[in-house]
Chains A and B, each alone.
Chain A
Protein backbone atom coordinates (compact mmCIF):
# COMPACT_ATOMS: atom_id res chain seq x y z
CA UNK A 1 0.00 0.00 0.00
CA UNK A 2 2.77 2.41 0.93
CA UNK A 3 4.52 1.28 -2.25
CA UNK A 4 1.62 2.51 -4.40
CA UNK A 5 1.49 5.78 -2.49
CA UNK A 6 5.22 6.22 -3.03
CA UNK A 7 4.90 5.62 -6.77
CA UNK A 8 2.01 8.08 -7.11
CA UNK A 9 3.81 10.68 -4.99
CA UNK A 10 7.08 10.34 -6.93
CA UNK A 11 5.15 10.79 -10.15
CA UNK A 12 3.60 13.97 -8.81
CA UNK A 13 0.01 12.71 -9.00
CA UNK A 14 -0.76 13.02 -5.29
CA UNK A 15 0.33 15.24 -2.44
CA UNK A 16 0.63 13.16 0.75
CA UNK A 17 -0.49 16.16 2.82
CA UNK A 18 -3.79 16.14 0.92
CA UNK A 19 -4.16 12.41 1.66
CA UNK A 20 -3.63 13.09 5.38
CA UNK A 21 -6.33 15.76 5.28
CA UNK A 22 -8.79 13.43 3.54
CA UNK A 23 -8.26 10.78 6.21
CA UNK A 24 -8.49 13.31 9.04
CA UNK A 25 -11.74 14.73 7.65
CA UNK A 26 -13.54 11.40 7.74
CA UNK A 27 -11.88 10.14 10.93
CA UNK A 28 -12.46 13.24 13.00
CA UNK A 29 -14.86 15.72 11.44
CA UNK A 30 -17.56 13.98 9.43
CA UNK A 31 -19.58 11.29 11.16
CA UNK A 32 -22.99 10.29 12.53
CA UNK A 33 -22.99 13.12 15.10
CA UNK A 34 -23.80 15.34 12.11
CA UNK A 35 -26.89 13.33 11.23
CA UNK A 36 -27.90 13.20 14.89
CA UNK A 37 -28.03 17.00 14.97
CA UNK A 38 -30.24 17.02 11.88
CA UNK A 39 -32.62 14.48 13.43
CA UNK A 40 -32.72 16.27 16.80
CA UNK A 41 -33.60 19.53 15.09
CA UNK A 42 -36.37 17.81 13.15
CA UNK A 43 -37.70 16.48 16.46
CA UNK A 44 -37.78 19.91 18.09
CA UNK A 45 -38.59 22.30 15.24
CA UNK A 46 -41.72 21.45 13.20
CA UNK A 47 -40.87 23.97 10.47
CA UNK A 48 -37.40 22.45 10.10
CA UNK A 49 -38.89 18.93 10.02
CA UNK A 50 -41.21 20.04 7.18
CA UNK A 51 -38.30 21.51 5.20
CA UNK A 52 -36.20 18.41 5.79
CA UNK A 53 -38.89 16.03 4.60
CA UNK A 54 -39.72 18.19 1.58
CA UNK A 55 -36.16 18.78 0.34
CA UNK A 56 -33.46 17.43 2.62
CA UNK A 57 -30.32 18.65 0.83
CA UNK A 58 -30.85 22.40 1.50
CA UNK A 59 -32.31 21.69 4.94
CA UNK A 60 -29.19 19.73 5.91
CA UNK A 61 -26.99 22.39 4.36
CA UNK A 62 -28.58 24.94 6.72
CA UNK A 63 -26.86 23.13 9.59
CA UNK A 64 -23.60 23.12 7.64
CA UNK A 65 -23.40 19.64 6.16
CA UNK A 66 -23.06 19.14 2.41
CA UNK A 67 -20.90 17.73 -0.33
CA UNK A 68 -19.44 14.49 -1.50
CA UNK A 69 -21.84 11.54 -1.34
CA UNK A 70 -24.55 13.84 -0.04
CA UNK A 71 -25.23 15.94 -3.12
CA UNK A 72 -28.86 14.76 -3.29
CA UNK A 73 -30.25 13.68 0.08
CA UNK A 74 -33.77 12.45 0.85
CA UNK A 75 -34.99 12.18 4.46
CA UNK A 76 -37.32 9.30 5.33
CA UNK A 77 -39.52 9.58 8.39
CA UNK A 78 -40.34 6.52 10.46
CA UNK A 79 -43.85 6.31 11.91
CA UNK A 80 -45.66 3.72 14.05
CA UNK A 81 -46.98 2.27 10.76
CA UNK A 82 -43.87 2.50 8.56
CA UNK A 83 -40.25 1.62 9.17
CA UNK A 84 -37.60 2.68 6.64
CA UNK A 85 -34.29 0.93 6.12
CA UNK A 86 -31.51 1.87 3.69
CA UNK A 87 -29.11 -0.36 1.75
CA UNK A 88 -26.91 -0.26 -1.31
CA UNK A 89 -27.02 -3.74 -2.82
CA UNK A 90 -24.64 -2.82 -5.66
CA UNK A 91 -21.82 -1.14 -3.72
CA UNK A 92 -21.73 1.01 -0.60
CA UNK A 93 -23.69 4.22 -1.28
CA UNK A 94 -24.20 6.07 2.00
CA UNK A 95 -24.85 9.72 2.97
CA UNK A 96 -21.31 10.72 3.97
CA UNK A 97 -21.93 14.34 5.06
CA UNK A 98 -24.44 13.25 7.71
CA UNK A 99 -23.26 9.73 8.64
CA UNK A 100 -19.57 9.66 7.71
CA UNK A 101 -18.12 6.57 6.07
CA UNK A 102 -20.19 3.38 6.26
CA UNK A 103 -19.45 0.63 8.78
CA UNK A 104 -18.07 -2.67 7.50
CA UNK A 105 -21.37 -4.52 7.95
CA UNK A 106 -23.17 -2.02 5.69
CA UNK A 107 -20.71 -2.77 2.85
CA UNK A 108 -20.66 -6.51 3.47
CA UNK A 109 -22.38 -9.31 1.54
CA UNK A 110 -24.66 -10.45 4.41
CA UNK A 111 -26.35 -7.06 4.68
CA UNK A 112 -26.40 -6.21 0.98
CA UNK A 113 -27.83 -9.61 0.02
CA UNK A 114 -30.56 -9.93 2.65
CA UNK A 115 -31.71 -6.38 3.33
CA UNK A 116 -33.94 -6.45 0.24
CA UNK A 117 -35.29 -9.98 0.65
CA UNK A 118 -35.40 -10.66 4.40
CA UNK A 119 -35.32 -7.28 6.17
CA UNK A 120 -36.91 -8.59 9.37
CA UNK A 121 -34.26 -11.29 9.53
CA UNK A 122 -31.60 -8.61 9.15
CA UNK A 123 -33.18 -6.55 11.92
CA UNK A 124 -33.10 -9.66 14.12
CA UNK A 125 -29.33 -9.79 13.57
CA UNK A 126 -29.28 -6.34 15.20
CA UNK A 127 -31.46 -7.60 18.06
CA UNK A 128 -34.36 -5.50 16.84
CA UNK A 129 -37.90 -6.82 16.41
CA UNK A 130 -40.34 -4.71 14.47
CA UNK A 131 -44.07 -5.07 15.34
CA UNK A 132 -45.67 -7.55 12.92
CA UNK A 133 -48.10 -5.05 11.47
CA UNK A 134 -45.52 -2.32 10.81
CA UNK A 135 -44.83 -1.94 7.12
CA UNK A 136 -41.16 -2.15 6.27
CA UNK A 137 -39.77 -0.15 3.39
CA UNK A 138 -36.31 -0.81 1.98
CA UNK A 139 -34.56 1.89 -0.04
CA UNK A 140 -31.88 0.47 -2.32
CA UNK A 141 -29.52 3.37 -3.13
CA UNK A 142 -28.96 2.52 -6.78
CA UNK A 143 -28.44 6.12 -8.01
CA UNK A 144 -26.82 9.23 -6.51
CA UNK A 145 -29.71 9.87 -4.15
CA UNK A 146 -28.66 9.30 -0.54
CA UNK A 147 -31.17 8.40 2.14
CA UNK A 148 -31.28 9.46 5.79
CA UNK A 149 -33.81 7.83 8.12
CA UNK A 150 -35.44 10.10 10.68
CA UNK A 151 -36.32 7.74 13.53
CA UNK A 152 -39.25 8.29 15.88
CA UNK A 153 -38.54 10.49 18.88
CA UNK A 154 -38.29 8.33 22.01
CA UNK A 155 -41.01 8.67 24.63
CA UNK A 156 -40.12 10.46 27.84
CA UNK A 157 -38.06 13.19 26.15
CA UNK A 158 -40.55 16.04 26.40
CA UNK A 159 -38.85 19.37 26.90
CA UNK A 160 -35.36 18.02 26.15
CA UNK A 161 -32.87 20.29 24.44
CA UNK A 162 -31.80 19.64 20.88
CA UNK A 163 -28.32 18.76 22.10
CA UNK A 164 -29.55 16.23 24.65
CA UNK A 165 -31.90 14.69 22.08
CA UNK A 166 -29.01 14.37 19.61
CA UNK A 167 -27.21 12.18 22.14
CA UNK A 168 -30.02 9.61 21.74
CA UNK A 169 -29.72 9.38 17.96
CA UNK A 170 -27.58 6.42 16.94
CA UNK A 171 -25.99 5.81 13.56
CA UNK A 172 -28.00 2.62 13.08
CA UNK A 173 -31.27 4.44 13.82
CA UNK A 174 -30.49 6.72 10.85
CA UNK A 175 -29.86 3.71 8.57
CA UNK A 176 -32.95 1.94 9.85
CA UNK A 177 -31.26 -1.05 11.45
CA UNK A 178 -31.73 0.22 14.99
CA UNK A 179 -33.70 2.53 17.24
CA UNK A 180 -32.59 5.66 19.05
CA UNK A 181 -31.45 5.19 22.63
CA UNK A 182 -34.09 5.63 25.31
CA UNK A 183 -33.82 8.20 28.13
CA UNK A 184 -33.10 5.25 30.42
CA UNK A 185 -30.03 4.23 28.35
CA UNK A 186 -28.60 7.71 28.88
CA UNK A 187 -29.39 7.69 32.62
CA UNK A 188 -27.59 4.37 32.94
CA UNK A 189 -24.49 5.93 31.39
CA UNK A 190 -24.73 9.01 33.61
CA UNK A 191 -24.90 6.76 36.66
Chain B
Protein backbone atom coordinates (compact mmCIF):
# COMPACT_ATOMS: atom_id res chain seq x y z
CA UNK B 1 0.00 0.00 0.00
CA UNK B 2 1.10 3.54 -0.70
CA UNK B 3 1.05 4.34 3.00
CA UNK B 4 2.92 6.25 5.65
CA UNK B 5 5.45 3.43 6.00
CA UNK B 6 6.89 3.91 2.51
CA UNK B 7 9.31 6.68 3.45
CA UNK B 8 12.20 6.49 0.96
CA UNK B 9 12.95 9.91 -0.53
CA UNK B 10 10.47 11.89 1.56
CA UNK B 11 11.54 15.35 2.70
CA UNK B 12 10.84 17.34 5.83
CA UNK B 13 11.55 14.81 8.57
CA UNK B 14 14.64 16.70 9.72
CA UNK B 15 18.02 15.35 10.81
CA UNK B 16 18.71 11.89 12.19
CA UNK B 17 19.17 12.15 15.95
CA UNK B 18 21.28 9.32 17.35
CA UNK B 19 20.87 8.90 21.10
CA UNK B 20 24.14 8.25 22.96
CA UNK B 21 24.06 5.11 25.14
CA UNK B 22 20.54 4.33 24.02
CA UNK B 23 18.78 1.64 26.10
CA UNK B 24 17.21 -1.34 24.28
CA UNK B 25 13.78 -0.22 25.53
CA UNK B 26 12.82 3.25 26.74
CA UNK B 27 9.94 2.21 28.97
CA UNK B 28 8.40 -0.91 30.47
CA UNK B 29 5.36 -0.76 28.20
CA UNK B 30 7.67 -1.01 25.17
CA UNK B 31 9.10 -4.26 26.55
CA UNK B 32 5.63 -5.71 26.92
CA UNK B 33 4.46 -4.49 23.47
CA UNK B 34 7.52 -6.10 21.91
CA UNK B 35 7.15 -9.40 23.79
CA UNK B 36 3.38 -9.64 23.28
CA UNK B 37 3.81 -9.10 19.55
CA UNK B 38 6.39 -11.89 19.31
CA UNK B 39 4.49 -14.26 21.60
CA UNK B 40 1.09 -13.80 19.93
CA UNK B 41 2.38 -14.86 16.50
CA UNK B 42 2.09 -18.52 17.52
CA UNK B 43 -1.49 -18.63 18.92
CA UNK B 44 -2.64 -15.85 16.58
CA UNK B 45 -1.69 -17.79 13.47
CA UNK B 46 -0.71 -14.77 11.39
CA UNK B 47 2.56 -14.46 9.48
CA UNK B 48 5.15 -11.69 9.40
CA UNK B 49 3.70 -10.14 6.24
CA UNK B 50 0.24 -9.95 7.81
CA UNK B 51 1.85 -8.31 10.86
CA UNK B 52 3.66 -5.76 8.72
CA UNK B 53 0.47 -4.94 6.86
CA UNK B 54 -1.44 -4.57 10.13
CA UNK B 55 1.13 -1.99 11.25
CA UNK B 56 1.24 0.04 8.06
CA UNK B 57 -2.49 -0.14 7.32
CA UNK B 58 -3.52 3.14 8.98
CA UNK B 59 -3.73 6.80 8.08
CA UNK B 60 -0.28 8.08 7.08
CA UNK B 61 -0.83 11.00 9.47
CA UNK B 62 -1.33 8.54 12.33
CA UNK B 63 1.56 6.32 11.26
CA UNK B 64 3.98 9.22 11.20
CA UNK B 65 2.78 10.59 14.54
CA UNK B 66 3.16 7.26 16.37
CA UNK B 67 6.29 5.85 17.97
CA UNK B 68 7.62 2.53 16.76
CA UNK B 69 6.15 0.44 19.57
CA UNK B 70 2.87 2.38 19.43
CA UNK B 71 2.65 1.18 15.82
CA UNK B 72 3.46 -2.39 16.88
CA UNK B 73 0.81 -2.28 19.57
CA UNK B 74 -1.83 -0.84 17.25
CA UNK B 75 -1.03 -3.51 14.65
CA UNK B 76 -1.29 -6.25 17.27
CA UNK B 77 -4.66 -4.99 18.53
CA UNK B 78 -6.00 -4.83 14.97
CA UNK B 79 -4.93 -8.44 14.33
CA UNK B 80 -6.43 -9.64 17.64
CA UNK B 81 -9.74 -7.91 16.96
CA UNK B 82 -9.97 -8.94 13.30
CA UNK B 83 -9.55 -12.58 14.23
CA UNK B 84 -11.98 -12.44 17.11
CA UNK B 85 -9.30 -13.27 19.67
CA UNK B 86 -10.04 -10.16 21.73
CA UNK B 87 -12.96 -7.74 21.67
CA UNK B 88 -12.75 -3.97 22.01
CA UNK B 89 -14.72 -3.99 25.28
CA UNK B 90 -12.16 -6.35 26.79
CA UNK B 91 -9.27 -4.03 26.01
CA UNK B 92 -11.25 -1.18 27.55
CA UNK B 93 -12.09 -3.23 30.63
CA UNK B 94 -8.59 -4.66 30.96
CA UNK B 95 -10.03 -8.12 31.54
CA UNK B 96 -11.32 -11.08 29.59
CA UNK B 97 -15.11 -10.76 29.30
CA UNK B 98 -15.84 -13.40 26.67
CA UNK B 99 -14.95 -17.05 26.14
CA UNK B 100 -11.45 -17.36 24.67
CA UNK B 101 -11.19 -18.58 21.10
CA UNK B 102 -9.42 -21.95 20.97
CA UNK B 103 -5.82 -21.62 19.79
CA UNK B 104 -3.49 -24.36 18.61
CA UNK B 105 -0.39 -23.52 20.65
CA UNK B 106 0.97 -20.83 22.87
CA UNK B 107 4.59 -19.87 23.43
CA UNK B 108 5.82 -21.54 26.61
CA UNK B 109 8.89 -20.30 28.48
CA UNK B 110 10.64 -23.58 27.63
CA UNK B 111 10.14 -22.92 23.91
CA UNK B 112 11.36 -19.31 23.78
CA UNK B 113 15.03 -20.01 23.06
CA UNK B 114 14.43 -22.66 20.41
CA UNK B 115 11.64 -20.66 18.73
CA UNK B 116 13.92 -17.64 18.43
CA UNK B 117 16.80 -19.82 17.25
CA UNK B 118 14.66 -21.43 14.57
CA UNK B 119 13.31 -18.10 13.33
CA UNK B 120 11.28 -18.07 10.16
CA UNK B 121 13.39 -18.85 7.09
CA UNK B 122 11.62 -17.74 3.91
CA UNK B 123 13.61 -19.59 1.25
CA UNK B 124 11.63 -22.34 -0.52
CA UNK B 125 12.36 -25.17 -2.92
CA UNK B 126 11.29 -24.55 -6.50
CA UNK B 127 11.20 -26.29 -9.84
CA UNK B 128 11.20 -23.04 -11.77
CA UNK B 129 14.28 -21.31 -13.12
CA UNK B 130 14.87 -17.61 -12.47
CA UNK B 131 13.89 -15.40 -15.42
CA UNK B 132 16.74 -12.94 -14.80
CA UNK B 133 20.45 -13.43 -14.28
CA UNK B 134 23.23 -11.36 -12.79
CA UNK B 135 23.96 -8.31 -14.96
CA UNK B 136 20.52 -8.17 -16.61
CA UNK B 137 18.97 -4.75 -16.94
CA UNK B 138 15.49 -4.65 -15.42
CA UNK B 139 12.83 -2.12 -14.59
CA UNK B 140 10.79 -2.05 -11.40
CA UNK B 141 7.17 -2.20 -12.47
CA UNK B 142 4.80 0.64 -11.79
CA UNK B 143 2.49 -1.23 -9.45
CA UNK B 144 0.29 0.36 -6.78
CA UNK B 145 -1.48 -2.38 -4.86
CA UNK B 146 -3.62 -1.15 -1.96
CA UNK B 147 -2.54 -4.32 -0.12
CA UNK B 148 0.90 -5.18 1.28
CA UNK B 149 3.88 -4.92 -1.05
CA UNK B 150 7.63 -4.65 -0.53
CA UNK B 151 8.40 -2.68 -3.68
CA UNK B 152 9.01 0.87 -2.42
CA UNK B 153 7.58 3.75 -4.43
CA UNK B 154 10.95 5.41 -5.00
CA UNK B 155 12.15 2.62 -7.33
CA UNK B 156 8.93 2.04 -9.27
CA UNK B 157 9.36 2.75 -12.96
CA UNK B 158 13.14 2.95 -12.64
CA UNK B 159 15.76 0.78 -14.33
CA UNK B 160 18.51 -1.08 -12.51
CA UNK B 161 20.83 -4.05 -12.76
CA UNK B 162 20.38 -7.51 -11.29
CA UNK B 163 23.29 -7.82 -8.90
CA UNK B 164 22.43 -11.11 -7.25
CA UNK B 165 19.98 -13.94 -7.73
CA UNK B 166 19.17 -14.62 -4.09
CA UNK B 167 16.87 -17.63 -4.23
CA UNK B 168 13.19 -18.46 -4.23
CA UNK B 169 11.42 -16.81 -1.28
CA UNK B 170 7.92 -16.46 0.17
CA UNK B 171 6.14 -13.66 -1.74
CA UNK B 172 4.88 -11.08 0.79
CA UNK B 173 2.20 -9.66 -1.51
CA UNK B 174 0.44 -13.07 -1.46
CA UNK B 175 1.39 -14.12 2.06
CA UNK B 176 0.03 -10.91 3.61
CA UNK B 177 -3.46 -11.42 2.21
CA UNK B 178 -3.75 -15.09 3.20
CA UNK B 179 -3.36 -16.19 -0.42
CA UNK B 180 -0.47 -18.48 0.49
CA UNK B 181 3.30 -18.28 0.31
CA UNK B 182 3.43 -18.32 -3.49
CA UNK B 183 7.27 -18.40 -3.49
CA UNK B 184 8.98 -16.31 -6.18
CA UNK B 185 12.56 -15.70 -7.27
CA UNK B 186 14.16 -12.89 -5.34
CA UNK B 187 16.89 -10.60 -6.66
CA UNK B 188 19.11 -7.79 -5.42
CA UNK B 189 18.55 -4.96 -7.91
CA UNK B 190 20.98 -2.04 -7.93
CA UNK B 191 20.00 1.45 -9.10
CA UNK B 192 22.17 4.49 -9.80
CA UNK B 193 21.46 7.48 -7.59
CA UNK B 194 20.76 9.70 -10.59
CA UNK B 195 18.36 7.18 -12.11
CA UNK B 196 16.30 7.43 -8.94
CA UNK B 197 16.71 11.08 -8.04
CA UNK B 198 17.49 12.81 -11.32
CA UNK B 199 20.50 14.86 -12.38
CA UNK B 200 20.91 16.37 -8.92
CA UNK B 201 21.28 12.94 -7.33
CA UNK B 202 24.60 12.01 -5.74
CA UNK B 203 26.70 10.53 -8.60
CA UNK B 204 28.75 8.44 -6.17
CA UNK B 205 25.67 6.73 -4.78
CA UNK B 206 23.97 3.44 -5.66
CA UNK B 207 20.95 1.96 -3.96
CA UNK B 208 19.71 -1.60 -4.01
CA UNK B 209 16.44 -3.20 -3.06
CA UNK B 210 15.63 -6.89 -2.85
CA UNK B 211 12.81 -7.45 -5.34
CA UNK B 212 10.75 -10.50 -6.22
CA UNK B 213 10.37 -11.49 -9.86
CA UNK B 214 6.75 -10.27 -10.17
CA UNK B 215 8.01 -6.74 -9.36
CA UNK B 216 10.38 -6.70 -12.34
CA UNK B 217 10.37 -6.57 -16.13
CA UNK B 218 13.18 -6.57 -18.68
CA UNK B 219 14.53 -3.15 -19.61
Contacts and interface: CB of A to CB of B under 8 A. Distances in A.
A89 B9 CA distance: 9
Nearest to A64: B117
Question: Range of interface residues on chain B?
Answer: 35 or more
Contacts of A8: 36, 40, 80, 86
A4 B36 contact: yes
A111 B211 CA distance: 21
A190 to B, nearest CB: 19
Interface in B190-218: 190, 196-197, 201-202, 204-212
Nearest to B94: A3
Interface string A127-151: 0000011111111111111000000
B35 interface: yes
Given A8-B40, A11-B86, A89-B152, A66 B91 contact: no
A86 B16 CA distance: 14
A162 to B, nearest CB: 24
Contact of A7 (B86, B119, B205, B211): B86
A90 interface: yes
Contacts of A120: 202, 205
Given A6-B95, A19-B39, A90-B150, A11 B7 contact: no
B13 A114 contact: yes
Interface string A5-25: 111101111110111111101
23 contacts: A2-B29, A3-B91, A7-B86, A7-B96, A13-B44, A15-B108, A23-B31, A25-B112, A26-B24, A31-B24, A68-B116, A71-B120, A72-B122, A72-B123, A90-B52, A100-B24, A104-B68, A108-B13, A112-B7, A116-B9, A119-B202, A142-B211, A145-B166
